[in-house]
Amino acid sequence: MAETLRLTFVSPHHPSESSWGLTHTLSAVCRRMAREGHEVDVYYPVKSAAPPPVDYWEGVRALPVACFRAERFPFGPDYEFSWRVARDLAPDRDVVVIHNENGGTFVMRRARALRRAGRRAPVAIAAFHGLGLRFLQTGRARRPDRLRPRLGYFSDWASLRVLEGGGARNADVCVVCSAAIGRELTALYRVPPSRIRLIYNGVEPEPAPTPEEREAARRSLGIGDGTLALAFMGQDTHRKGFDVATGALRLLAQRGLRVVLLNIGNAEPSSGPVVSFGVVDAPTKRRILAASDVFLLPTRYEGLPAVVQEAAVLHLPVATTRAANVEWGTPGKDFVLIDPNTPEAAADALQPVLESAAARRAVAEGGYRELGSRRYDQQTREYLDLFRQLLDGRGS
């Protein structure tokens, strides 16, 4: 077996959390590294003065960090979390990986300070599944145009420049899940392209639903014969384009199609042809996707959405925008491209696919081959190869 590595990950959630795409991907990679015999620690924030004890999940040690004193300040808990993890970071670890702004600038500066002092220090990696600064910009249109919201936006912007930007600039290497995120790192934070590595996300292998499973799923959800079901999944409904999805649905219904939108993962209420389920467990999510004819994600900004790969692995045709950064798929062949991001454009792109079962099968097959074929095992191998490459460089 290869040399055992001592790895520290800095995460926004406990590694068992699966409803957030970032944590779900991080947990899958950490679990596989632990199975290979590596020592894997995950720091995560807890808003409590009395955090739970350290525990193990799938061989991964989960270390809670109490962060509750700075709630009043913009990104105050993130500052507190980053500072506390940096304070506790053991210099004998081989690699430390922060994710987005979580962990942020203090953890990366701690590693660099140890190195400048001539002490052993972990290789410092900042991994980005999307940039918080761009998430903030995407949601700006929803803030009232008044003085207090404008000041709040500026405070959040300045905090992210310190936390996220500082983490990126002080890291030895930045890992991105799409080339588009790498370009944004360079544009927003002036990270040299030579310090950026691209590692695409993976997906869990899962058998495609059988015709019997699909029929049972549709019956359980009350979807009648002749009704076309579109699935939508996402917590941040504005960024994910829920308004575009519902607008497209209304237009399709006006054009004579019998359609229903199965909405997962958020608090939007059921209304008319929209049936909402909230946050669901894995079996329920599979049942909803198995009952669907198309997975629709008219997103405004992403790093690389895990839900697109999860839908593709189930042989479900995907419709999404260029903002999803599905860079290794071919629009029109492996997924339906919705561009520009408007209800009219979404309806126009969806209608020919919804009206043709053969077209849906062709897109589903192409999507499975391209979007659904990359596995977490491959992502894990690429991370470990990068770790060893950086550690060898440090030794020399």
64: left (phi over 0), alpha (psi -120 to 50) or beta: beta
Q: Do strands 123-128 and 95-99 pair parallel, antiparallel, or not at all (unpaired)?
A: parallel
pLDDT at 133 over 60: yes
Instruction: Please indicate, yes or no, whether the overall pTM of this predicted structure exceeds 0.95.
Output: no
Q: What phi and psi values does residue 57 have, to the nearest 5 degrees?
A: -135, 115
pLDDT at 95 over 90: yes
Q: Where in the chain is the domain with CATH 3.40.50.2000?
A: 6-202+375-395, 211-370
CATH code reported for the domain at 211-370: 3.40.50.2000
Quote the pLDDT of residue 2. 59
Q: Give residue-wise pLDDT tens across range 33-73.
A: 999 999 999 999 998 888 899 999 999 999 999 987 777 77
Class of the CATH-defined domain 6-202+375-395: alpha beta
pLDDT band at 339 (very low <50, low <70, confident <90, very high): confident
Quote the pLDDT of residue 395. 53
pLDDT band at 146 (very low <50, low <70, confident <90, very high): confident
Inter-residue contact 46 to 66 (CB < 8 Å): yes
User: What mean pLDDT do residues 22-30 have?
Assistant: 90
Distances in Å between the Cα of 67 and the Cα atoms of 51, 105, 109 are 9, 16, 20
- CA-nearest of 273, 254, 252, 253 to 263 is 273
Residue 303 and residue 192: Cα distance in Å, rounded? 19
User: What mean pLDDT do residues 363-371 have?
Assistant: 95
Quote the pLDDT of residue 179. 96
Quote the pLDDT of residue 396. 43
CB atoms within 10 A of CB 361: 12
User: What mean pLDDT do residues 179-193 have?
Assistant: 96
- CA-nearest of 394, 20, 386 to 175 is 386
User: What mean pLDDT do residues 380-388 have?
Assistant: 97
Mean pLDDT estimate for the chain = 92
pLDDT band at 27 (very low <50, low <70, confident <90, very high): very high
pLDDT band at 101 (very low <50, low <70, confident <90, very high): confident
- CA-nearest of 136, 128, 238 to 183 is 128
pLDDT band at 1 (very low <50, low <70, confident <90, very high): very low
Pull the structure tokens for residue 289.
Answer: 């996707």
Q: In what order do the strands lie in the sheet with 259-264?
A: 274-276, 259-264, 228-233, 294-297, 318-320, 336-337
Distances in Å between the Cα of 63 and the Cα atoms of 29, 252, 266, 294 are 17, 49, 28, 40
Name the most confidently modeled range: 78-87, 256-265, 335-344: 256-265
For helices 21-35 and 306-313, what crossing angle results, to 10°?
70
pLDDT band at 245 (very low <50, low <70, confident <90, very high): very high
| Residue scoring higher pLDDT (318 or 137) | 318
Choose the weakest-confidence range: 115-124, 287-296, 349-358, 370-379. Answer: 115-124
Quote the pLDDT of residue 143. 78
pLDDT at 210 over 50: yes
Q: Give residue-wise pLDDT tens across range 256-305.
A: 999 999 999 999 999 989 999 999 999 999 999 999 999 999 999 999 99
